[in-house]
Amino acid sequence: EKGTYPHYMLKEIDEQPIVIRNIIKEYQDENNELKLNNDIRNAMKKADRIYIIAAGTSYHAGLVGKELLEKLASIPTEVHVASEFSYNMPLLSEKPLFIFLSQSGETADSRAVLVKIKELGYPALTITNVPGSTLSREADYTLQLYAGPEIAVASTKAYTAQIAVLAILATDTAAVKGKEIEIDLIKELAIVSSAMEVLTDEKEEIERLAAEYLPTTRNAFFIGRSGDYNVSLEGALKLKEISYIQAEGFAGGELKHGTIALIEEGTPVIAVTTHENVNYSIRGNVQEVVARGANVLIVSMKGLEEDTDAFVLPKVHELLTPLVSIVPLQLLAYYAALHRDCDVDKPRNLAKSVTVE
Ligand code: F6R
């Protein structure tokens, strides 16, 4: 039940620090080491390439997962939108492992791919919030999100839970493969959880920013580079699905290849910068849109912040920044929708799980 919360979405955003702690608890053994089922470890070890299949927000979590799997476990990883994969299957590697990312475990587009790759005899791992779901039952292996029921149509805590579980999978695989581990993941996830708590306490400030930057606008752009680009895509999806503001996420460098034509006096642009190696370039992109009249809201990470930034995130490990940078964007979408009197938990035309192809 949503208790004192006006909406499930707000409750679920607030639950994210606890969900991360739950995940740490569930995936940790008594020696504080990561604990994963041996069959899953073997499947990960055998795979020469991972294919992540997902839709919507889960697809966006998959994009973050790719970076984690490649950087930590050194396994080449592709992320595919389920409905596209079905009709245009890429050339597969010799020993592929398929990961189905799905909050509900019932998404028909993802299931169609699962059926197809099982016919071809390939192994499948489902990462889901619902252990008895179709995708879980029909795959060889399951990893649970332990996020608790997600009721609001707009997915929030499942996105961060998916990223956390993928980080665990990637780090565990690195250890199983005898690779040097670059991250003390359990410690870093605990830091993320505390940072999320700081952010969920900033609701008033974010509500104010939503009123300032997204009052009557018809469109908005999210920009970022590298890992921040992945978060921009999810920030845009959250905003569009519940506030009906037309929102798109772009790679900072792509702006000048077309989208900048849409920037005019007052166009809101939300820029995310949490990585030192792209901070300079994304700020260059900010200058480009400011010069054309954009109203830019900069979300930066502690250590990279400048006076112009509207919102500064607590510092977390570089590979885990999407877990925190998404939180103010979720809240921004929530308040923008609220100010427009939209039905936050049940946006028009959308269903919580999409069981038709
Ligand atoms: C967006 C949203 C959808 C789902 C998508 C996949 O907020 O909730 O984009 O992420 O329909 O659903 P699952 O993860 O259940 O497969």
Q: What Rg value do the Cα atoms of the chain yield, rounded? A: 20
Mean pLDDT of 144-153: 97
pLDDT of residue 2: 87
Q: Look at residue 354 and tell me whether its pLDDT is greater than 90.
A: no
Structure tokens at 102: 């799905």
The Cα–Cα gap between 52 and 81 comes to 9
The whole-number average pLDDT for the span 277-306 is 97
Residue 353: the pLDDT is 83
Cα 103 to middle of ligand 1, angstroms:
7
pLDDT per residue over 39-90, tens digit each?
Answer: 999 999 999 999 999 999 999 999 999 999 999 999 999 999 999 998 899 9
* Best residue for ligand 1 mutational test, from 79, 166, 344, 354 (most atoms within 8 Å of Cβ): 354
Flag whether pLDDT at 133 surpasses 90: yes
Residue 36 pLDDT more than 90?
yes
Tell me, what's the pLDDT at 356?
Answer: 83
Sheet with 49-54: list strands edge to edge: 77-81, 49-54, 96-102, 124-128, 141-144
Residues 154-165 have pLDDT tens digits of 999 999 999 999
Mutation test residue for ligand 1: of 58, 85, 234, the one with most atoms within 8 Å of CB: 58
What is the bridge-based pairing of β-strands 268-273 and 295-301?
parallel
Q: How confident is the model at residue 351 (pLDDT cuts 50, 70, 90)?
A: confident
- Average pLDDT, stretch 227-253? 97
What are the φ/ψ torsions at residue 221 (nearest 5 degrees)? -120, 145
Model's pTM, two decimal places?
A: 0.98
Contact 112, 53 (CB under 8 A): no
Structure confidence by residue, pLDDT tens digits, 13-30: 999 999 999 999 999 999
Residue 348: its pLDDT value, please?
87
Q: Which atom of ligand 1 is nearest to the CA of 110?
A: 16
Q: Give the confidence band of 195 by pLDDT, cuts at 50, 70, 90.
A: very high
pLDDT at 124 over 90: yes
What's the pLDDT at 211?
96
- Mean pLDDT of all residues in 156-181: 96
pLDDT computed for residue 149 by the predictor: 97
Q: Whose CA is nearest to atom 7 of ligand 1?
A: 154
Q: Please compute the mean of the pLDDT values over residues 126-155 and round it to a whole number.
A: 97
> HSE on the CB side for 175, CA within 13 Å?
15
Q: What average pLDDT score do residues 112-125 get?
A: 97
How many Å separate Cα 110 from the centre of its chain?
17
CB 192 within 8 A of CB 316: yes
User: What are the pocket residues of ligand 1 if the criterion is a CB atom closer than 6 Å to any ligand atom?
Assistant: 55-58, 102-104, 107, 110, 154-155, 237, 241, 353-354
